[in-house]
């Protein structure tokens, strides 16, 4: 359940923000939330200088800030890198959402050109078809 779902149910917006802030400690503080995207993605797009991160050297808190990597996956990454380098195959086994995370991480297998994309292009790539359709409204002729 995300921020929009809570708001649609008629929940108090302050309570919704508190719940999101509690879940994403350090990511959501007093910044304005973009209602169209996930809070972690909004953070990553607003702070492009922090990304991409190397999963083999980054600390737990920074790994947790990557869109597509949750608490469970971040703990697994930190635990498993003691035994060797984290690869794309490891991330797939950990069920990391690579469709989102690939723009914000570096591994040996990921192409480097993904890291150089602009935040606006990454946002467009990650939007759902429904969100894209809402942006463009067909004009009427009459």
- Give phi and psi for 53, each to the nearest 5: -110, 150
Domain membership of residue 135 (yes or no) is no
Report how far residue 17's alpha carbon sits from residue 29's, in angstroms, rounded to the nearest whole number.
9
Average pLDDT of every residue of the chain: 77
Domain membership of residue 140 (yes or no) is no
Closest C-alpha among 78, 75, 72 to residue 55: 78
What stretches of 1-142 adopt beta strand conformation (E)? Answer: 53-54, 105-106
- Name the residue range of residue 60's domain: 36-127
pLDDT score recorded for residue 22: 65
Domain membership of residue 16 (yes or no) is no
What's the whole-number mean pLDDT along residues 10-17? 56
- 19-28 tens-digit pLDDT: 666 666 555 5
Residue 78 has pLDDT above 90, yes or no: yes
Predicted TM-score (pTM) of the model is: 0.69
Give how many domains the chain has, as a whole number. Answer: 1
What stretches of 10-135 adopt beta strand conformation (E)? Answer: 53-54, 105-106
């Amino acid at each position: 359940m995300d921020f929009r779902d809570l708001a649609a149910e008629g929940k108090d917006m302050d309570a919704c923000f508190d719940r999101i802030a509690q879940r994403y400690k350090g990511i959501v503080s007093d910044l304005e939330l973009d209602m169209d995207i996930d809070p972690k993605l909004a953070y990553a797009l607003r702070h492009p200088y922090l990304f991409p991160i190397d999963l083999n050297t980054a600390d737990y808190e920074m790994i947790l800030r990557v869109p597509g990597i949750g608490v469970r996956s971040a703990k697994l990454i930190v635990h498993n890198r003691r035994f060797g380098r984290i690869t794309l195959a490891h991330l797939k086994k950990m069920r990391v959402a690579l469709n989102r995370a690939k723009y914000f991480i570096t591994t040996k297998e990921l192409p480097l050109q993904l890291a150089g994309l602009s935040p606006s292009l990454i946002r467009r790539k990650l939007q759902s078809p429904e969100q894209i359709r809402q942006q463009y409204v067909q004009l009427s002729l009459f």
